[in-house]
Structure 1
Amino acid sequence: MAERCVGVFGANGHTGRFVAAELARRGLAARWIGRDRSALSELQATLNYGEVRTASVRDPASLLRAFDGLGAVINCAGPFFDTGRPVIAAALEAGCHVLDVTAEQVTVLDTIATFDDGARVAGRVVMPAMAFFGGLADLLVTSIVDGWPYVDAIDIAVALDSWHPTPGTRLTGERNTATRVVVRDGTLVPVPSPPPASVWRFPEPFGSQPVTCVALSEIITLSRHVKAGAITSYMNMKPLADLADTSTPPPRGSDALGRSDQIFAVSVRARRGAELREVTVSGRDIYAVTAPLVVEACVRLLDGATSAWAGVRAPGELFDARAYLAALSDVLQPQPVS
């Protein structure tokens, strides 16, 4: 059925290729969309799957043609400062749900301000930041705060053994000059100066490591549906040093799936009064793991979205977070609480 077909904008990019492969693995009808027909055709031939359409954010009519007949669009083409608005606008006009994989707070805030009302009118879901940064932490937090009407404090910590950034990651970092925010007293406020810092005990092989505040898109998504006095996100120091080093090369695949050797752990703590709840997952390659995260969301939207879901939404607002994480336990391995 055409309305079950999923389009991937930027399918020939680094993350887009992982998303395309995941759609093929799951047998969803798929369309590879972007500017470079040759690269898209190469992807189609490699996967022996999907159909190809060319489109550009500079040509809204081409986006409408490419999205025609789709049930959902996944935007993997950064920088999302450039692609977010035109892709969402065209997808909603074409009658599609739309998801993206941005990590940047400013893009999520702009999506909420620009498209929440329009998505409600269109009866479609817009889900930004459905990725390693953003959606994963949103789901982890949601999985442990159920039953709490209010949370005193939420802390999120990410450990990476390394970070070999894609060219898109580097370009986004260079252009993102927006003030980053955290939650204090239930409100989004600029990250304090100096930034919050701590020592976090991660599972092995990371162990205890110093972490510093790195405020990304999960702060925004969580603030939309979890009532919390404070929300802070942290990262260990090694990946930040890799990002700062301009000689750090891009990621290189080292297995049959094209994943790099990079490993990660994401740990979440939520406190209400004297009660503390925690959850940690680990896995491999932050770009690759984004694919099952966003495709699972896409499938759940296609299978279960109702008019009540319409609007700009976070995954924890709509989905059973525990069931969602359990469905991805092959790539997000639960770890014992430290």
Structure 2
Amino acid sequence: MDPILIYGANGYTGALIAEEAVRRGLKPVLAGRNRDALDALAQKLSLTRRVFTLEDPAEIARHFDGIDLLLNCAGPFSQTAVPLLEACLEHSVHYLDITGEIDVFALCHRAQPRAQRQGIVVAPGVGFDVVPTDCAAAMLKQQLPDATHLVLAFEAAGGPSPGTAKTSVEGLAKGGRARVDGKVVDVPLAWKSRTFERDGQPRTAMTIPWGDVYTAFVSTGIGNVETYMVTSPKTIARVRRLRMLMPLLALAPVQSFLKSRAGATAGPDEQRRAATRSHVWGEVRNAAGDERRLQLVVSNGYALTVQSALGIAQHVLATRPAGDYYTPSQMMGAGYVLSLPGTSLIDG
């Protein structure tokens, strides 16, 4: 039996995960829509491949034969999660992905009753989106159990992959998101800005619709969540100017053009991944004004995604947890990120 199917294996992150899987002695099945790219990767890694699109449920089902777990690496996940998740629920295959898209987290969470009945794990966001931030949120909840407000922020170096860049284009048309009094609400692009301190220096950041707006509430029960990305003041000003263009950004021809430009992004090479680190900040406070803070230094976001996604996939196959929807910290524990190579914790 071939237990793991990596869909989108020919993409930037999927290929990195496949290569690391082989180094770990695993033999995943490679899958996706690009026959030539899959053939080349399968030959390089001495693996089998399955080529299929996602329009026909029967075709997807045929390629699930002998599969225990699907790891979806094909973004934007707004396009791939619905058919692949449905196939997993229909055929009792565990579903994991590396999304950071709020709507995909919500989609997966709504499938919780079916996952419980089918006895399968549904665990989206097992990469950089949202493992470090979700673990940070869970650790802070342990320190301040009655926290009512949570702030999370990150600074990722190294540049985006094509899939990440395309997902960002989609996100621009949807505006910002935050969680207020337990509900996910729409807010303007770059709704708030503030600074976080790194190595004694201020780092400017703006709110973005990061996946923790959805998942952190599931993990911690904290009803007010804001998520920030470190960027320059000039970028913040440019993003705020885009607010007036949101109706235009949502038009299909504009989305298509911008995604084609984004798809030309190569993603960081091995040397850049090894040379760059990412930083995560977390803050909580309760109704009395008590606060707790922490900082994490982690490996490059793509390097972390490879390690965390495979680690969680192997954990699911080895331990067979109860069928359910899981966030990363619910599945692996709040300290999971600390077990990943290159992670260090800075309190306060």
Q: Give the AA of the match of 1:302.
A: L
Q: Any unmatched runs of 5+ in structure 1? A: none
From 295, 302, 321, the counterpart of 2:317: 302
Q: Which amino acid aligns with 2:133?
A: A
Are residue 87 (structure 1) and residue 102 (structure 2) matched? no
CA displacement 1:281-307 (0-9 Å, x = unmatched) = 223432232111111111221122333
Aligned to 1:139: 135
1:226 Cα deviation after fit: 1.2
Q: Give the Å deviation of 1:17.
A: 0.9
Equivalent pair of 2:156/2:277 in contact (CA under 8 Å):
yes
TM-score by length of 1: 0.85
Q: Which residue number in structure 2 is paired with residue 101 of structure 1?
A: 98
Distance 1:47 1:260 in 2: 22
Instruction: Say if 1:253 and 1:21 are closer, same or farther in 2 by CA, change over 3 A.
Output: same
RMSD, aligned CA: 2.8
Say if 2:260 is the partner of 1:263: no
The match for 2:118 among 108, 111, 122 is 122
Q: Does 1:326 align with 2:307?
A: no
Query: Is 1:280 matched with 2:295?
Result: yes
CA displacement, residues 47-85 of structure 1 (integer Å, 9 cap, x when unaligned): 33x321112112322322222222211000011111101
Q: 1:148 to 1:209 in 2, by over 3 A?
A: closer
Change (3 A) 1:192 1:151: farther
Q: Which residue of 1 aligns with 2:25?
A: 27
Q: 2:22 is paired with a residue of what secondary structure?
A: helix
SS in 2 for 1:33: strand
CA contact (8 A) 1:263 1:285 kept: yes
C-alpha distance in 1, partners of 2:279/2:33? 35
Aligned residues: 324
Kept after mapping to 2: 8 A contact 1:158/1:235: yes
Q: Letter of the aligned partner of 1:169 in structure 2? A: T
Structure 1 window deviating more from structure 2 (194-203 vs 10-19): it is 194-203
- Does structure 2 retain, via aligned residues, the 8 Å contact 1:68–1:94? no
Which residue matches 1:250? Answer: 266
Match of 1:195 in 2: 191
Please say if residues 298 and 344 of structure 2, whose CA atoms lie closer than 8 Å, have aligned partners that are also in contact: no
- How far, CA to CA, are the matches of 1:285 and 1:225 in structure 2? 24
Q: TM-score, with normalisation over the residues of structure 2? A: 0.83
Structure 2: gaps (5+ residues): 240-257
How far residue 155 of structure 1 moved from its aligned partner, in angstroms, is 1.1
Q: Once the two structures are aligned, what percentage of the paired residues are identical?
A: 24
In structure 2, the CA distance between the partners of 1:36 and 1:314, relative to structure 1 (3 Å rule), is same
- Alignment partner, residue 34 of structure 2: 36
Contact 2:108 2:325 in 1 (8 A): yes
Choose which of 170, 175, 200 in structure 2 pairs with 1:175. Answer: 170
